[in-house]
Amino acid sequence: MPIQTPYSNIPTLVIDDMPTQQTTLRGQLQMLHIAKIDVASTPDDAIRLVRQRPYGLVICDYNLNQKSDGQQLLEFMRDSGAIGPDCLFFMVTAENSYASVASVSEHRPDAYLLKPITAGDIEDRLKALLDRRNALQPVTQRLAKGDLPGAVAACDALLAKKDRWAMPALQYKGQTLLQMGRHEDARAVYEQVLALRSGIVWAQLGLAKALKAAGKVEEAKFLAQSIIHSKDGEKNVEAYDLVAACLEAQGDMQGALWVMKDAAVVMPSARRQRIVGEAAYRNGDLETARECYARLAKATKGAVTALPQDLLAHAQTLVDGGEPARAIELLDQGAQPYRNDPSFASVSLAIRAQAQAAAGDTEGAKASVARARETMRRAKADFATVALARAELVTGNEAAGLKLLEAAVSSDHENPRVKQLIGHALKESGHADKLSQVVDGAVGELNDRVTSAKAMFRDSRIDEALAAIEAALKDYPDNTGVLLQAAQMNCLALRLKKQINAMVAERVRLYLQRLDTLMPGSDRVAQMHRYYRETLAGLTGAPAAVAA
């Protein structure tokens, strides 16, 4: 009969390009009586396997002798959700310097093991991490199901035990309360932690986030800056991100860019280069944008972390920088690796049309923009729509280009980044004088429709008001401002009618789900989730914490 240990039922994946090391690791895992062990020799094999079945443990060699190293593979798996939050990731390396690599990485492994390793080394790390995971499992299981109130209750149950898991429980509780829009309660949790140990960076950062969620942006920015200037927090990129978000909220987009640049110095990852490149481009800093995209291309060439959007954005910066031939060459290079990407071809054609127009190939530009027009999907507040609009403008189709830009604004009229992108597009295409026309025209019509719906509500014409806001949402399904208004008005209708309507409640839930996708981590969305829960609680008699 097989011997059972705490590790026996952990499905494990070994990723190593060396057959001898695969055999060694498999043998060491079998010594721990781990029964389910799969092996991958390449990053592509590993990705295929993790998409087929869930794993509880991944052991990966850092130097895979491939275009993707172990760190890039870890980042891809975490960012894409290919492995679950409960999956442990161990990095195996012969390099003592890996500790510094991990410390400035977007994602850190749960443990790293220096070669030569033994079964005992693996067991020591597993035992410690499984003890923590098992203790916090009542919380993480509820979070995985989206049961935020249940997660808070599980944290309170852990805190009542007053054992060594109290601090992790407080950390989870604060994060979950912020996610629920309960920023006052989250602030109390973080202040409680800091009263016990004033130097805990995660608690300081959580307190700053709670302040920002409460609208105290200047206080939040000051606290996040103090974290950056402290010895323990100087490499905390979340603090940099929060400062940048505060500056954007205050309208200082250039200041936000400088903070993003600083974060990329602290953590020179592909993701950070991407963030700075995008921000620099929006701000019209083409030199910085080109440098970022060039570094990004070099770092991710042939790797799993390479994204088609990176190549497209790089090509666009080259067009703007007066290098149309290089832009076309770059687009040609991406044609084969991204041939199956549904959006690459149409955006590539739009940028190609701009490059051809800049190079004097008028007929080629017109042909490319015509093909791009045929393959482009519905206009949205995104890079693809703006690229096609620019292609229309530079090939003489001014009316079509401006209409697309108006549609982009209407798709998300409260997004300052979209307005930046559109302003840059108009400037580069020689239509800077049309900015007010594009923005004011699109926003004016949309605001009129929302204002009209709200006026109906004030006149107690509830059903007409809801029909009006639903019609606006049908025309602008990804407009975050309209989605928030629709969610709020439907909740208010439930409150005024003082009865549960399952169809309306489900409609609001779907709106909030869409907002979570469009605005991840948004304070405004978190507040709307809270309003929704409180609405249902008031109608069902259940506590607000569990109503939704």
pLDDT tens-digit profile of 459-507? Answer: 989 999 999 999 999 988 888 999 999 999 999 999 998 888 999 999 9
The first and second tokens of residue 370, run together, are: 């015509």
Chain-centre distance for alpha carbon 385: 20
CATH for 103: 3.40.50.2300
Give the pLDDT score at 105.
Answer: 65
CB 410, CB 478: distance < 8 Å: no
- The β-bridge partners of 13 are 38, 58
In a domain, residue 451? The reply is no
* pLDDT at 1 > cutoff 80: no
d(CA 445, CA 447): 6
* pLDDT at 450 > cutoff 50: yes
Give the pLDDT score at 102.
Answer: 62
Percent of the chain's residues with pLDDT above 90? 61
* pLDDT at 80 > cutoff 90: no
The total of other beta-carbon atoms located within 10 Å of residue 518's CB is 15
CB 93, CB 62: distance < 8 Å: yes
In a domain, residue 39? The reply is yes
* Closest to 79 (Cα-Cα) out of 89, 92, 66, 93: 89
pLDDT tens per residue, range 407-436: 888 888 778 888 888 888 888 888 888 888
In a domain, residue 196? The reply is no
Mean pLDDT of 44-57: 92
Give the pLDDT score at 343.
Answer: 83
In a domain, residue 483? The reply is yes
Pairing between β-strand 57-61 and β-strand 12-15 as defined by DSSP bridges: parallel
Give the pLDDT score at 546.
Answer: 46
pLDDT tens per residue, range 506-527: 999 999 999 998 888 888 999 9
Mean pLDDT of 186-204: 95
Would you state the torsion angle of the CA atoms of residues 260, 263, 269, 271, taken in this order, to the nearest 10 degrees?
-30
* Closest to 198 (Cα-Cα) out of 242, 240, 232: 232
CB 29, CB 21: distance < 8 Å: no
Handedness of CA 188, 190, 193, 195 (dihedral sign): negative
For residue 400, the one-letter residue type is: A
Give the pLDDT score at 418.
Answer: 85
d(CA 242, CA 221): 7
DSSP tally for the chain: helices H, then strands E: 26, 5
* pLDDT at 194 > cutoff 60: yes
CB 74, CB 91: distance < 8 Å: yes
- Our count of domains for the chain comes to 2
Average pLDDT for the chain: 90
* Closest to 381 (Cα-Cα) out of 493, 500, 518, 281: 518
For residue 513, the one-letter residue type is: Q
The first and second tokens of residue 236, run together, are: 């905390």
Range of the domain at 58: 12-114
Q: Where does 180-269 have alpha helices with state H?
A: 183-196, 201-213, 217-228, 237-249, 253-266
In a domain, residue 508? The reply is yes
Q: At what angle do helices 480-497 and 502-518 cross, to 10 degrees?
A: 160
Label residues 497-508 b or e (16+ Cβ within 10 Å = b).
eeeeeeebbebb
Percent of the chain's residues with pLDDT above 70? 96
Give the pLDDT score at 311.
Answer: 95
Last residue of a domain, one of 81, 114, 147: 114
Give the pLDDT score at 100.
Answer: 61
In a domain, residue 516? The reply is yes
pLDDT tens per residue, range 259-300: 999 999 888 888 899 999 999 999 999 999 999 999 999 988
Give the pLDDT score at 103.
Answer: 60
In a domain, residue 56? The reply is yes
Instruction: Give the pLDDT band (50/70/90) at residue 71.
Output: confident
Mean pLDDT of 368-378: 88
d(CA 197, CA 175): 18
d(CA 23, CA 39): 9
Last residue of a domain, one of 114, 141, 172: 114
Number of C-alpha atoms within 13 angstroms, CB side, residue 6? 11
Last residue of a domain, one of 114, 135, 168: 114
In a domain, residue 416? The reply is no
pTM given for the model: 0.84
Instruction: Give the pLDDT band (50/70/90) at residue 375.
Output: confident
d(CA 463, CA 486): 12
DSSP 17-28: S-HHHHHHHHHH
